[in-house]
Structure formats: C-alpha cells, structure tokens
Amino acid sequence: MPIVNCKISKNVKIFYPELVNLYNCKIGEGTQIGPFVEIQSGVVIGKNCKISSHSFICSGVKIGRGTFIGHSVTFINDKNPKAVNKKGKIIKKNEWLMENTIIGSNVSIGSSATIMCGINIGDNCIVGAGTLVLKDLKKNNKIYNKVFNELKNKK
C-alpha cells in the first residue's frame, strides 16, 4: 500500500489505497481521493476536497478547503525540469529550484488542466477543463481553454 508517512485526517476516503502513491503529505478531514493519484512530499490539502483519479499533485502545492481537482489534473513545481546536471549525472534535490503553487478554497479545477508552478489561484476560482494555467488568478475569477472562449464568442 503506497501510502507512506502521511497525516491522513479522519473521514478521508481513499477508494483504492493500493492504487495511489501518497507520501509525506497531509490530507484534511473528509477529503476524497480517487485511484491512480500521486501526492508528493510536503503537499497540504484542506478538508472536504475531491481529488479525482489520475491527478498528480507535486511537492510545493497547497490546496485550501472544499476544492475540486478534476481527473488527470497535473501540477508542476519546476520551470526548467532536467534529468541530469551539466556533468550528466542525475539531478539531486539541491540542484533544482522548487516553486510553490497555492490553490485557495472552493476552487474548481477542471479535468485535464495543467497548472504551472509559482502561481496562486484564489478562493472560488474556476479553471475550465483542458486549460493550461500560466499566471495567477485572483479570487472569484475564471479561466478557460481558448477553444471554450472561441465557441462562446461564436454563439
């Protein structure tokens, strides 16, 4: 069961503990976590969130309360990811810069969204499905994939 050294609050539902990879993270009371989810070291997730299947939440991410993370949502914590350093050796922890991402409460992040690091998404924001988010979103705002905006403008 790949749930290692996590602080899992009461009433957390992890539907298939053998099909997730959670380590050194904190999961708030009542939060639900689907299968094929990876949550890395240092992640803090508030209470009553839904973390849907196939999502990846990396080190550096904090998520408030009552936030929805859709399916196949991918967070990022390194703007210049490399496998090796200049000497060709596998990069070590102190050889790359981790950037944080803060997601507020009551946020909804649609499926297949990708969230760049170094970003804040405020409370009550909506990120549409399939959106690549590269900049901050102040609270109560919405951002969508361009395809969505184009379709809306046509109507």
Q: Tell me which residues touch a second copy (CB under 8 A).
A: 2, 15-16, 19, 21, 30, 32, 34-36, 38, 48-50, 53-54, 56, 58, 65-68, 70-72, 74, 76, 80-84, 88-90, 106, 108, 110-112, 114, 116, 126, 129-130, 132, 134-135, 145-148, 151
**Minimum distance from CB of 60 to a second copy (Å)?**
13
H or E segment to which residue 136 belongs: none
Closer CB to a second copy, 4 or 7, in the complex: 4
Q: Which is nearer to a second copy, 24 or 53 (CB)?
A: 53
Say how far apart CA 105 and CA 153 lie, in whole Å.
30
In whole angstroms, give the CA distance from residue 107 to residue 105: 5
Q: How far is the CB of 108 from a second copy (least distance, A)?
A: 5
Query: Is 51 within 8 Å of 71 (Cβ atoms)?
Result: no
| H or E element that contains 50 | strand 50-51
Locus of tokens 């070590």: 92
